[in-house]
């Protein structure tokens, strides 16, 4: 369930946060009840984005994770105020093996976001990246809602309905 995702996210984020001396703020919309279909790997995809946000930010900054509804989508925003990405390189960061010029002093293989994008797209979602207004980077993930029950509007959790994860990634 989405509740599991949230608890897993905060659990894992707390762990990452601890080791990096960051704080991760998790915000969810308290008044929505809806379903999206994602694979179990979707979790890893989101965590990849959060890991990057922590990795490419100085310690003692806040990484913000917002999960909410926007029209017929569930959106997940991951915002950091880290080193940022040059505008001209924003599109390329999803390519396999690509590492932006301002990340050269960090260890990495440039595959995390490529895998992340594959997982999200396979789950009928999209991923976009923007420069943060002040400083840093914003990632936005959208997955379509396939069902929502307006009679249950007052429920305070979002439910993610996992589907069997049985395909290979690069289809």
Binding site for ligand ATP (CB under 6 A): 52-53, 56, 80, 82-85, 93, 98-100, 103, 108-114, 137
Q: Which two tokens stand for residue 84?
A: 């940022």
CA–CA dist 58, 18 (Å, integer): 13
The least distance separating ligand ATP from the CB of residue 25, rounded to whole angstroms, comes to 15
Q: Is 104 exposed, middle or buried (0-12, 13-18, 19+ CB in 10 A)?
A: exposed
Closest of 58, 45, 69 to residue 119, by C-alpha: 45
Q: What CA dihedral angle connects 149, 152, 157 and 159, to 10 degrees?
A: -30
Place of tokens 């790997």: 41
* Residue with smaller CB distance to ligand ATP, 1 or 95: 95
Q: Binding partner of residue 125 among Mg ion, ligand ATP, none, CB under 5 to 8 Å per kind?
A: none
Site for Mg ion in 109-148 (CB under 5 A): 112
- Position 43 contacts Mg ion (CB under 5 A): no
- Interface pick for Mg ion out of 52, 116, 118, 137 (rule CB under 5 A): 52
Site string for Mg ion, 60-99 (x = CB under 5 A): ----------------------------------------
* Residue with smaller CB distance to ligand ATP, 30 or 108: 108
SS3 state at 88: helix
């Amino acid at each position: 369930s989405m509740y599991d995702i949230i608890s897993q996210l905060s659990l894992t984020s707390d762990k990452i946060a601890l080791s990096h001396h960051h704080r991760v703020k998790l915000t969810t919309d308290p008044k929505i009840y809806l379903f999206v279909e994602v694979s179990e790997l979707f979790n890893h995809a989101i965590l990849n984005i959060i890991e990057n946000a922590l990795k490419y930010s100085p310690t003692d900054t806040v990484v913000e994770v917002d999960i909410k509804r926007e029209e017929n989508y569930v959106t997940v925003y991951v915002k950091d105020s880290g080193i940022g990405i040059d505008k001209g390189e924003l599109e390329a960061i999803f390519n396999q093996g690509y590492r932006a010029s301002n990340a050269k002093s960090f260890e990495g293989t440039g595959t995390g976001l490529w895998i992340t994008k594959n997982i999200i797209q396979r789950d009928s979602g999209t991923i976009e990246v923007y420069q943060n207004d002040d400083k840093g980077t914003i990632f936005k993930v959208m997955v379509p809602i396939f069902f929502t029950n307006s009679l249950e509007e007052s429920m305070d959790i979002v439910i993610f309905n996992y589907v069997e994860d049985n395909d290979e990634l690069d289809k």
